Amino acid sequence: MNTPQHPDTATSVNQLSAESIGNVVQAGAISGGVHIMVKQEVAPQDPALGTFLSGLAENSTPVSPVTPGMSVSAPLGRLPREIRGRGELLDTLGRSVDNGANQVHVLAGMGGVGKSTIALSLVSSLERRRRFRQARATWWVSAADRTSFLGGMVSVARALGSSQADLTAIGAGAPDGADRVWSLLDAAPRRWLLVVDNADDVSVLATGRVGDGNGWVRTSRRGITVVTTRTSDPATWGSFARLHRLSPVAHPDAARILLDLAPEAGDAVTAERLAARLGGLPLALKTAATYLASDFAQVASFAEYVRALDTGSTFAPTAPGPAEPRETVTQTFEISLDGLAVQGCPEARAMLRILSCFAPWTAIPVSALDPSLLAPALGEQTAARVESVLRSLAGAALLDVQPITVSGKTQAALTLHPVVVDSCRIQAAEHARRTSDLAIFRAAAGVAANLADSCRQKLLADLADYTLTHLRAILDTAGSFISGDELVALLNSISRAVKILYGQLSVPYQMEALVRHALREAVRLGDEHVTTCKLESALGDALFCAGHTAEAEIAYQKALHGYARLVGGENRDTLDARHGLGLVVGHQGRWAEARSHLAQALVETVKIYGNTDLWTLQLRHCLAWVQAREGKWEAAEDGFRGVYSDILEAHGEAVSQAHGTLSHLAWTVEHQGRFGEATGLFERMLATSTKADGAKSRRALSARFNLARLAVEQGRWQAAKDGLDGLLADYESLTHPIIEDEIDCRFWLAELEFRQERFDEAERLLGILLKTATNNLGATHLSTLAVRHTMAVVARSRGESGAAEEILRSILVVQDRLLGRGNRDTLCTVCELGWAITTQERYAEAAGHFTQVIESETDPSASHRLSARHGLAWTAAQQGDNSGSAAELRAIQDQYRSRFSPCHVNTLKVAFDLAQVLGAQGETEEALGTYAHVLQARIGLLGPRHPLVRRTRDAMKQLRQSRRQDGVR
């Protein structure tokens, strides 16, 4: 984020009011794609698997595994014809709905006990009643994972006529997202029933504590909420929820469930005997009855099924006699798999165990199940055979099939019930320990690697969250069993996925957690292994993406030292790590080191790939960026122009690197005060991006953002407001919004209010933005810190300097740890801290902070360095050195005039303070002339009634009165 920070007025000992300069800080990774990552390509998938949708999922509603929206229609096709043994509970729920009770009902119990079935039955019974259909709305939201839950709540909000702003906040899980959706539900025109299904991970529903009643689950006078979950602790759900603990079905009712599904398998007596043996658990009853009614059943009756359980004739035998419910469920799965094997599908068991290594209730794209990757466990298979095996598992009720939308196209995906996953994982682990056969885990790791590699280009936004979730699950399951080449392949796929996803995710912490987990597994490879180096480099990417440059430096250093020992300095991985290291030390203000690393990487890259390779050009781009940061703006401009020309000649203007280099060229031109030329470059960028990618492509929106930002910098308030408002509306309408872009836009809207001294509105916008940034990016992300910094500036502008100082010191603690004291963001905070201390009349202490900034910043034109010089001059004036202060302020004013214009807001602030110092020196005529220039310029910029205009008039009036009192005419 480009972070403008504005110290403002302060009352001093001699009653002078300092108008300190606003600083512009580049926060976070370099914009425009500075750090190019190695992209790994994989072979295209077998298209035959795409036919898997037909028959199994053709009547389902496609859902997209992203937050913009999910189907919220209840899956009534899963509902059995009769619900047995739950009549009393269903009556209670029905009465609650009829009475309009202001309640949340929580259906809690072990997996497979039938919680979702009860909720489906409630929905079905109500929808059959015409009066209810006319009077109420019904929504079914899956809470199996956060992506599905937020997507479902987006669809609920959309059905209630929400604004695009609401949809964006809800879909992003913003701190006020729950408030937004519940304000819509509370104002719904019709009464409603909301089912939140599979809320086993309660954190998915939390903004704080679920039981507080102010999160994603609440009571409402307009409707009833039903939650299904394994969590039965009353403290979790709070006093506002009515908890219903579900037990297995009583044996007589359980027997009727068996007879409903397998009427030919025996009588009521033998059915009840089997029901008792299965513990009355509905999932086990369904699995057993589906098996008995199938063509592949090896046993045909309830009695024979009981004998099979009692004698332990399945793959995982148990001792005769009573068994725990989970053991019994496992046996029902194994009996079904035995039946499929007899009927010519012996691969079903291995396939189910492979799939169980992935995360439950999370979509597994069928396209990732390349037959060659399944071969270690299934043998050589065709795509058609894989499809047949999956159909058999779905027919045996062991997995579900649903369509998902990826890059606008529909494809099949698989989901597994957590009970099936837990059971099969146990079986797979026991089999591996008993036989040393690791084929299941090898195949699962191979499929996971393929899924990771599929996250490239247009698939990024659709598959990223799910892929990282699955990779973590694979590490937890297969990771501890595989070793050697299989472990290396899995860990390398994780590092590749992070490289591919670098810069694409709004929240990089999931990547960091995954890589750290992978590094723990990599210990088994030994200290000297190139895979560990790859993971360390990927960790550096994840940390850099989060803005944690000091920690990223350590990770890149580890990777670089390992690569140097193992593969040498000319290897591409080595050069990539050196590239990353150069950038992170640069972001800490160590420009000479940054230049050294990048130049060294460039020399080797030219040797290997030539002068026109995109990676070579990207390194040249980075070196130009270093020159700019060192204050060598003309040299940086020449560098960017050369890179841009070579990109156009060798690759054309459509590549992303052309856009990034043009953006940085415009930035250097802007920094040299040539705003008209910079505007022309951004307009060119907008035209080419719109032509190539469309008006709402990220590159086109980036160009529009920079044009609006330039309007703010030039004081063209209405043009800036129109540009930012239009941009925000387009961000909110995107299918896959980028949260950082929206935060930047909202930040500059707040900045626009601040520059016009509308502090209340600026503070309100920043408060909302802080919650959004903290929730989506984390409390220590650079964008979050930038928002807090600006809130401190606003606080000081309102006279709350003590509060501002407290905020700034807390920011410095984080910045010193993550960025280092030489980083520009850190120096900007030090500078603003100096101003906060100045307003509290601790001038010597403030001067120390200003001096630190001046000595640490190498670019003489950097805004925070100019602000520090301004502050140092002001503290000198407060301590009686008006003459020296006036000379320094004149010099600073000249620099601002040269860089911006005589009427720029920063130029005018220095001029105002210069007039005050001149007045204090007795140079009244020059002071009044300076005030007159400031007044005229501010009226033109802000209008005659603006507070800054009134302040300038008041200062002139006070100076004239002082002159009259002194007898000066």
- Kindly state the DSSP code that residue 144 receives in the 8-state scheme: S
SS3 35: coil
Q: Is 656 exposed, middle or buried (0-12, 13-18, 19+ CB in 10 A)?
A: middle
List the one residue out of 780, 781, 779, 723 whose CA is nearest residue 751: 723
C-alpha 190: how far from its chain's center? 34
For residue 199, which of 249, 133, 152 has the smallest C-alpha distance? 152
Q: What is the pLDDT of residue 590?
A: 85
- Going edge to edge, which strands form the sheet with 191-197? 136-142, 191-197, 223-229, 104-108, 241-245
DSSP H or E segment with residue 191? strand 191-197
Query: In this structure, are residues 26 and 50 in contact, taking their beta carbons and an 8 Å threshold?
Result: no
- With 70 as the cut, is the pLDDT of residue 327 above it? no
How far apart CA 45 and CA 656 sit, in angstroms, is 26
Does pLDDT of 322 surpass 60? Answer: no
In the structure encoding, which two tokens stand for residue 772, read together?
Answer: 């959004």
Residue 399 main-chain phi, psi, to 5 deg:
-155, 165
Q: Could you tell me the maximum CA-CA distance found in the chain, to the nearest angstrom?
A: 118
Q: What average pLDDT does range 779-798 have in this prediction? A: 88
Check residue 106 and give its pLDDT.
93
Helices (H), 343-454: 347-356, 371-378, 383-395, 418-435, 439-453
Bigger pLDDT: 576 vs 904: 576
DSSP letters, 535-595, are: HHHHHHHHHHHTT-HHHHHHHHHHHHHHHHHHT-TTSHHHHHHHHHHHHHHHTTT-HHHHH
Do residues 61 and 71 make contact, with C-beta atoms less than 8 angstroms apart? yes
Specify which residues 23 forms β-bridges with: 5
Which carries the bigger pLDDT value, residue 965 or residue 113? 113
d(CA 420, CA 355) in angstroms, rounded, equals 10
CA distance 760 to 554: 42
Report which of residues 297 and 793 the model is more confident about.
793
Stretch (H or E) spanning 133: helix 130-135
Residue 547 falls in which region: left (phi positive, over 0), alpha (psi -120 to 50) or beta: left
Helices (H), 454-526: 460-477, 484-501, 509-522
Q: Please give the model's pTM, rounded to 2 decimal places.
A: 0.68
> Using CA atoms, how far apart are residues 643 and 623, in angstroms rounded to an integer?
11
Residue pair 865/896 in contact by the 8 Å Cβ criterion: no
Find, among 215, 204, 198, 194, the residue nearest to 104 by Cα. Answer: 194
Average pLDDT over residues 550-578: 92
Here the tokens at position 631 are 């204050």
- Cα distances from 669 to residues 405, 640, 745, in angstroms, run 43, 10, 22
Cα–Cα dist 720/941, whole Å:
13
CA–CA separation, 747 and 3 (whole Å): 8
pLDDT given for residue 890 in this prediction? 92
Q: What digits encode the pLDDT tens for the residues 793-804?
A: 999 988 899 999
- By DSSP bridging, strand 136-142 and strand 191-197 are parallel
User: Is the per-residue pLDDT at 582 higher than 60?
Assistant: yes
Going by C-beta distance under 8 Å and a sequence separation of 6 or more, which residues neighbour residue 12?
18, 838, 841, 877, 878
Which residue type occupies 933?
H
Using alpha carbons, list the distances in angstroms from residue 647 to 610, 613, 616, 644, 692. 13, 9, 10, 5, 16
Tens digit of each residue's pLDDT (9 = 90 or more) over 898-913? 776 787 778 888 999 9
Distance from chain centroid for Cα 2: 19
- Cα separation, 532 vs 770, in Å, equals 37
Q: Which residue has the tokens 């700034």?
A: 808
Q: How far apart are CA 555 and CA 546, in angstroms?
A: 14
pLDDT one-digit tens code per residue, 12-37: 223 344 655 433 333 333 233 333 22
Mean pLDDT on 178-193: 89
Residue with more model confidence, 302 or 903: 302
Helix/strand/coil (H, E, C) string of 869-922?
Answer: HHHHHHHHHHCCCHHHHHHHHHHHHHHHHHHCCCCCHHHHHHHHHHHHHHHHHC
Q: Is there a contact between 41 and 500 (Cβ–Cβ < 8 Å)?
A: no
CB 374 within 8 A of CB 381: yes
Cβ within 8 Å of residue 440, ≥6 positions away: 350, 353, 354, 357, 377, 428, 431, 432, 478
- What is the per-residue pLDDT across 94-120, written as a single tens digit (0 to 9) for each? 888 877 767 899 998 877 888 899 999
Closest CA to 72 of 158, 4, 189, 199: 158
Q: What are the residues whose beta carbons fall under 8 Å from the beta carbon of 324, sequence distance 6 or more? A: none
Alpha helix segments (H runs only) across 694-738: 698-713, 717-733
Q: Give start and end residues of each alpha helix (H) in 756-904.
A: 759-777, 782-797, 801-818, 824-838, 843-856, 863-878, 882-899
Banded pLDDT at 309 (limits 50, 70, 90): confident
| Residue that wins the pLDDT comparison between 559 and 395 | 559
Least-confidence region, from 393-402, 473-482, 525-534? 393-402
The burial class, CB within 10 Å (0-12 / 13-18 / 19+), for 655 is middle
In the DSSP assignment, the letter for residue 280 is T
The pLDDT of 590-606, averaged and rounded, is 92
For tokens 């292994």, the residue is 529
pLDDT tens digit sequence for 269-296: 999 988 888 888 888 888 888 888 887 7
Contacts of 946 (CB under 8 A, 6+ apart): 756, 757, 938
- Residue of 692 and 242 predicted with greater confidence: 242
67 secondary structure, DSSP code: T
Contacting residues for 644 by C-beta, under 8 A, at least 6 apart:
658, 661, 662, 665
State the amino acid at position 682 in one-letter form.
Answer: F
pLDDT score for 208: 66
Cα-based distances in Å from 776 to 70, 174, 631: 20, 7, 34
Q: Which of 111-115, 571-575, 577-581, 746-750 has the lowest mean pLDDT?
A: 111-115
DSSP state of 293: T
Q: What's the confidence (pLDDT) of residue 15?
A: 35
Q: Are 879 and 843 in contact (CB under 8 A)?
A: yes
Query: At 92, which amino acid appears?
Result: T
